[in-house]
Amino acid sequence: MAFDKDAIIASLKEASISDLNDLVKAIEEEFDVSAAAPVAVAGAAGADAAAKDSFTVELTSAGSAKVKVIKVVKDITGLGLKDAKDLVDGAPSAIKEDVKEDEANDIKEKLEAAGATVTLK
């Protein structure tokens, strides 16, 4: 007996929701598997991402308004003008590390308002 994938798909298209639910339960019992396992794994990965409590603000690109970005970097970091310029010229570079999410988003907004491209890691 050959496996007829197209016939199975056609049968599934015609089945009701309760019939499909019964089919899933029967497959789970027959093969000792659970259809819910991939969802639990995806949920756990999402929980790990949500649990992140410190971020690194990385300047990806200074954009066209480089002078404005240098001034913002200088204000954010407390560096001198030359050091702030070196950070901007060396993009991609970390502007601040291990900051809380609110502070990281605030820094990102300030830099983007000046024309920079920023990523949070």
pLDDT tens readout for residues 2-19: 778 888 888 888 888 888
> pTM for this structure?
0.55
> Residue 39: what pLDDT?
47
Burial of 55 (0-12, 13-18, 19+ CB in 10 A): buried
Sequence-ordered list of residues with C-beta below 8 angstroms from that of 52, at least 6 positions apart, any chain = 101
Q: What is the mean pLDDT of residues 68-79?
A: 88
Q: Is the pLDDT of residue 79 over 50?
A: yes
Contact 79, 87 (CB under 8 A): yes
Count the Cβ atoms, other than its own, within 10 Å of residue 102.
Answer: 9
Contact 59, 27 (CB under 8 A): no
pLDDT tens readout for residues 29-70: 888 877 665 544 444 555 555 557 788 888 888 888 889 988
